A and B are shown apart, each in its own frame.
Chain A
Amino acid sequence: MFDLTPDEWIAIRLSIRIAIVATAVALPFGIAVAWVLARKDFWGKSLLGGLVHLPLVLPPVVTGYLLLITFGRRGPAGAFLADNFGIVFSFRWTGAALACGVMAFPLLVRAIRLSFEAIDRRLEDAAGTLGASPFRVFLTITMPLALPGIIAGMVLCFAKALGEFGATITFVSNIPGETQTISAAIYTLTQVPGGDAAAFRLVVVAIVISLAALIASEWFARRAGMRYHGD
């Protein structure tokens, strides 16, 4: 009963690859945006916050459609990237990673922003008086202290990317071996007669991967948290 077919393995591997790439690429942007939102006051700050959180409240189909007309082959950003850097999103797994990254971005930013806001800024002042430039303060004090929140944000981002469905299928469709993730494969299997057993196997796989990610993040966060209190 639990022998996964080659097609199912392809969908699983693809999902994991898409989720990892989406998280890795989103992370530096997420840290930068979270830092700006946590620490800076500027005109248009609430607009930036709103834009970042938009994928959380918009129907995923709308986000997917906006990605399609922006990053599709004839979209302004899509054409530019394809012509100048050879990066193509439409109907490719890279497009799925982009859609997943955009959809998961608010969760990533939110977790990291909260951990930046929780840091005692007086420690950063103290580091400054000890000769650390603002950038080195960020690297040696702010980032290590925010690490549990950054890890939590990455796991949320990974889990969201793994399960993303609506924006992905709208933007890059549901092509086996290229853009068909676990979610899309389950959806397809539930639409055909006799697909229940296969769908069930993928459901179990999705639960196992998500649980493993959660447990791993707990473990990392506890290790990072221990460094504040233990020897």
Chain B
Amino acid sequence: MLAVDIEKRLGDFAIKVAFESTGGVTALFGSSGSGKTSVVNMVAGLIKPDRGRIALDDQVLFDSHARVNMAAHRRRIGYVFQEGRLFPHLSVAANLDYGRRMSRLPRDEAEQRRIVELLDMGHLLDRRPGRLSGGERQRVAVGRALLMRPRLLLLDEPLASLDSARKREILPYLVRLRDEAKVPMVYVSHNPGELRRIAETVVWLDGGRVMKSGGLELLDQADLDAL
């Protein structure tokens, strides 16, 4: 379970967010500039909150009172970035293996094969990221984050940089991932349609605050608001 209760000032923008995620796929929903990416960056340990507490299962990742701030590389939280962020000097295979090597996990061929198959990347392994299409790149980014055996997977608008045909190509993989990989996920998106396919609970952010949280029915209201 992920429990977040944090405050952060970024220039004129103030974030004050509290929510819990009890497994499955939690959507962080909101328009651009609502603070979604900053929140997941704080969960990942890439930005430090000013105040508050973040806990994953029974481990405290951040607590301003207890002066706990675990370094990002010790958190074991997988992160799929909007732009993939594959390492350009490494092959796809080396990108996929990077998290395992750096987290000093034993080699697990079966798990590797399973993820490569799940994301359909077998024919890409020898290529460099520069030679991948946008959709392939995001699949590799998802695989790379999964292969470090994360306790939690953060996906920050993983489809936003793709055109709608590519989105339709990747979304089924993510749904398969949700059903087969059993890793809790926080899925950031501003797109209700996408979230309906993948999310189970919704946390709706607006202006750095949680406006509402609940089930997928919140997304219907978002559609109405957009009209």
Contacts and interface: CB of A to CB of B under 8 A. Distances in A.
Contact of B81 (A122, A133, A227): A122
Interface in B26-72: 44-46, 71-72
Interface residues of A, number: 24
A123 B81 CA distance: 10
Contact of A131 (B83, B85, B148): B148
A40 interface: no
Contacts, number: 82
Nearest to A136: B102
B73 interface: yes
B73 A133 contact: yes
Contacts of B22: none
Nearest to A145: B89
A130 B98 contact: yes
A229 B87 contact: no
Given A141-B87, A228-B89, A130 B128 contact: no
Interface in A99-123: 120, 122-123
B127 A145 contact: no
B99 A229 contact: no
B46 A131 contact: no
B85 A122 contact: yes
Contact of A129 (B78, B87, B104): B78
Contacts of B130: 228-230
Nearest to A224: B89
Chain B interface size band reads 20 to 34
A125 to B, nearest CB: 5
A129 B81 CA distance: 11
B204 interface: no
A127 B103 CA distance: 11
Given A128-B72, A132-B73, A141-B87, A231 B99 contact: no
A126 interface: yes
B128 A126 contact: no
A137 B102 CA distance: 9
B46 A129 contact: yes
A121 B85 CA distance: 10
A228 B87 CA distance: 9
A144 interface: yes
A130 B131 contact: no
A134 B72 CA distance: 10
B144 to A, nearest CB: 7
Given A130-B98, A131-B103, A131-B148, 12 more contacts: A122-B81, A122-B83, A126-B87, A127-B98, A127-B102, A128-B73, A129-B46, A129-B73, A130-B145, A131-B74, A131-B102, A227-B88
Interface of B: 44-46, 71-79, 81, 83, 85, 87-89, 98-99, 102-104, 126-128, 130-131, 144-145, 148
Closest 7 CB pairs of A and B: A131-B103, A130-B99, A132-B102, A126-B85, A131-B102, A129-B79, A228-B88
8 contacts: A128-B46, A129-B145, A130-B78, A133-B102, A140-B98, A227-B88, A228-B89, A231-B127
